Structure 1
Amino acid sequence: MYDIASIYQARSVADAIRALQADPSALVIAGGTDVLIKVREGKLAGCSLVSIHGLGEELSGVTQASGGDIEIGPLTTFRGVAFDPVIRRCIPVLGEAVDQAGGPQLRAAGTIGGNVCNGITSADSASTLMALGAVLRVRSPRGEREVPIAQWYKGVGKVDLAHEELLVKIVIPRANCEGYTGHYIKYAMRSAMDIATLGVSCLVKLSADKRTVEEARLAFGVAGPVPMRACGAEAAVRGLPIGEAVGRIGRAALEDVHPRSSWRASKEFRLQLVEELSGRALREAARKGGAQI
């Protein structure tokens, strides 16, 4: 049994926002894969909920805008993202990343918006969305605003989302994905149904002859309190031959990250993972782009 004081089923995005305004203590629930666990554990016992589960027509699905940006509804499930034809054609690395979240039951119910809004650095979508430079579009009684994902995470479990605001779209700018190929690596204590000890996502744009790194985008989960880009490592490999870049990117990334020790892994082990997995992710991303490695 779940100790829930009340649950309100929103009829529209505007209705959900009004319900949040009316109840300063209410929590949003969508797939429920995070919230219901916390309720059952007693962390949110007696809470009131505003359910947006039935707003799929407004908040789910993936489309490509006329300008080439990719727009993802926050109620799109992990499975929906992984198997969407737009994602598979334009940014398959994101589908591959979310397809590693939990087990098949979680991926069928959990949403990418919930994964973003819970503010957890180990979220499987987080490092890839960070590498893609996603933009989060949120709506409130005052209208809409857009938050670059680099400014979204404010601390452990904290994001730039006010109580009466609702995430309504995740936007991947065309310039951040067109011409890139990517690869995501999740290192966990188990090979399935576990959270990441470290997550690394790397995107690369190759030169016309497929021998040189024109641009690289490298991001991590669990390499600090929030998901982060490794901008120093990206700059260090720009313009380098692929083989040299693969050897250098991991060492350079050590200057960008700030992992800590936990019961899952020591700081030192996470640093070892950062160095090793960065090179592996770049190598595989480049191979997908046509490089001969």
Structure 2
Amino acid sequence: MPSPAALDGFAFQASTLDRADALRGDAAALRESWPDARLIVLDGEGRAAADAGGGLLPLRGARLGGGPGTAVFLGRVAGDAWFALDAAAAPVPEAAQWVDLRSAAAHWPAESSSLFAYARGMLYWHVRNRYCGVCGGAVGFDRGGFVGHCAQCGNDHYPRVDPAVIVAVSDGERLLLGRQAGWPPRRWSVIAGFVEPGESPEQTVAREVHEETGVRVRACRYLAAQPWPFPGALMLGFEALAEPDEPRVDGELEQARWFTHAEVGEALRRDGTEADGLLLAPPISIARSLIAHWHANGAMLTPA
């Protein structure tokens, strides 16, 4: 079996951040780093403070005051400590703009948008874990914001990530795509679904594809992953070889069908610039990369 081609081009995959786990438990070091630290501030809707040009607003700890106790330590980039904090705890300049994560992923440098995604996921977890899920007691956060501790029952809580598979399914010649009722007209994408307890990602691929489309998967192979903070998933990208079954839908999808190599190629070429024809997932998503990968490389898994 040949090695899979590289899968890239999607957002939130910058790798220059050092998460500096050892510093999370060093309260003194975090306080010392605060004045010169770089900050990313998010509002209640998960948007980031931006400058007049729409880029990430350059903020330092000394300018905003406060300290690590009110913020989440993200790590270090090129020697700079980075923290994320809620706008309710930060006197952001009134002239600041607010940019949503999807827009940032499309226009910001990869490092900045990846930090934004990381910050959004952590602050989302904080907001939704103020009370202990075991006893209902108030939760306080420690280790740079990465451990929630219940003072009432003593249980610790940790950031949650939900694994999901997303898969380009081929019968050797065509690509299987589906669409949900709430999507824009003409929008189609690859099949995806969450991993269930006691299930491997490969088992999830076979189950989800069959549940959503009735198509039977013969084999699959992992290609790459994308953090997807909407609100907190990790998308595990696969390619799969399936039987040429006639798709049928019963539940989450409104439609599912096979598309030819030429149809997918034409949609990639147009890239949504025309008023008709197939509309694919946006370029920031691993879904789009999986589609482009299949079109460029064909089915790396081929029928016996």
TM-score, structure 2 normalization: 0.27
Higher helix share: 1
Instruction: Name the TM-score, length of structure 1 as normaliser.
Output: 0.28
Which gives a bigger RCO, structure 1 or 2 (Cα 8 Å, sep 6+)?
2
